[in-house]
A and B are shown apart, each in its own frame.
Chain A
């Protein structure tokens, strides 16, 4: 093996060592969650801690599904999250494109106002926002949870704008020479090149919508309209701390977001191909 080969192997080993150390640090809390979710309530805090539960309480999971209509909750969460994701990605991409390169009157103002909406601490707009939804007659429906997503969002717009700005400027010029209209440039050049960013944004919005606790609790009152995340909080009592059930619930609730993550991740990888085609 030549020198550069040795060097390569050594750096590969180094990378794996770093990855494994960091990976273990990141995974430990999660492993403990899974382990607690399979324990009896009184065993959760026993020490010295036991990583392998005994007895293994698979029934914690079935207990979760016994008490609440989880199928219904799952459906509510899914359709709200999917609609939110679609609406927000579409509206943010449009806005981000407009706010990236084209120069026009009012561009800065709109961008900074949009940004400013992110700076207001949400706690104090809860009540006014709630009143707006009430005047629209949307209380106790799923509308307040996903309709606003069809009207843009500061985070997504900002994120996609930054991404669009990192694409080569020559793309616009080339498109203009080809006689491409603005809409066609957006649809046929910007969007395909932005797959990694769009996938990332979809992932985030899906996750935020899926994990949203405050929205459903405030806007909904009929129990069967609740989402899975809210349903899981129904395992926390005032005095009783059903930690083992809570842990089981937490494990169940993250599975859909992991699936969405794995789906989105494929698109990050396909981004390499797209990246190499351009030029």
Chain B
């Protein structure tokens, strides 16, 4: 019995050989090395100098770092629910077998493959408070739009909207794959019981795709806490530091300010934060994720 179990364990590890090699060869070394660097004053160019916990101490005392932490969580708080909600909604809409649905799928997916650099300029123009399209449309409904990207209060919401626009197609496709796998009999049975469309979505679709929702939430969380590209190309952290995120600070310190050591210490704060949030999500999944 024991021998059989042992044999089966060896067998299952066979499937994991590539993954384990990959972990050791391409990840472990890099991650450990960067962790070690967080205790050094290191600019890549000149030899590293051991400074113990100084980098961590500096980070904790830096006002800018805490502004960035605050901004990053603000982004996550807006981005995650909007993305999950919209991705599932779009997936349900384009999962219908109606004419022209393929075109809409493609349109919703287009932003995902569009380059962020090009997108950033388009949105800078769309969000211009005086001449941009967004406030023009709002004006038609008698709403005076805010200054968006040039306002410290509204820049982050604008970044969130652009990010959702840019990535929601990605999550929509994941949901779509999951929806395709729901057996039509489930809906047929519900229809016979007289359940309307909303009831079907609530009682069949949402529970059945909950393992996918869990995946999407985890992914959105990680990508939102690591947000970089959108602010790098769209706002450069401005105006008035209102969109400086932790990962933007890490990038600047590492490659623009020649402070690789300090950048890595920030990265490990971020790593810890992501880990804690993810752990909570894993612990919480038993309450709402429904596995077959």
Contact = CB atoms under 8 A, between A and B. Distances in A.
Direct A–B contact present (CB less than 8 angstroms): yes
Interface stretch (B59-67, B76-84, B263-271): B263-271
B29 to A, nearest CB: 6
Contact of A254 (B9, B12, B115, B250): B115
Interface string A112-146: 01111111111111111101100000000000000
A151 B25 contact: yes
A30 interface: yes
B201 interface: no
A148 interface: yes
B11 interface: yes
Secondary structure of the B contact surface, majority rule:
helix
Contacts of A48: 131
A81 interface: no
Nearest to B31: A120
Contacts of A268: 173, 176-177, 180
B30 A95 contact: no
B226 A207 contact: no
Interface in A70-90: none
Nearest to A253: B115
A123 B96 contact: no
Nearest to A119: B274
Interface string B153-191: 000000000000100001001101110111111000000
Interface residues of B, number: 95
A167 B183 CA distance: 11
A169 B211 CA distance: 14
A33 B118 contact: yes
A91 B115 contact: no
A26 B110 contact: yes
Q: Is the interface of A mostly helix, strand, loop or mixed?
A: helix
Nearest to B115: A250
Contacts of B182: 275
Contacts of B218: 158
A102 interface: yes
Given A11-B197, A15-B96, A124 B254 contact: yes
B110 A278 contact: no
Interface of A: 11-12, 15-16, 18-19, 22-23, 25-30, 32-33, 36, 45, 47-49, 91-92, 94-95, 97-99, 102, 104-105, 110, 113-129, 131-132, 148, 150-153, 155, 157-159, 162-163, 165-169, 182, 186, 193, 196-197, 199-200, 203-204, 207, 211, 229, 232-233, 236, 243, 246-247, 249-250, 253-254, 257-258, 261-262, 265, 268-269, 271-272, 275-276, 278-279
30 contacts: A12-B98, A19-B101, A22-B90, A29-B119, A29-B165, A30-B110, A33-B122, A98-B12, A104-B13, A113-B23, A116-B275, A117-B31, A119-B278, A125-B33, A127-B260, A128-B33, A148-B22, A151-B25, A153-B22, A162-B212, A167-B292, A168-B292, A186-B15, A196-B181, A211-B115, A250-B115, A253-B115, A261-B113, A268-B173, A275-B184
Given A19-B94, A33-B114, A120-B267, 15 more contacts: A23-B107, A27-B110, A29-B165, A30-B110, A110-B19, A123-B251, A125-B27, A129-B26, A131-B33, A151-B19, A152-B19, A197-B178, A253-B115, A265-B102, A275-B180
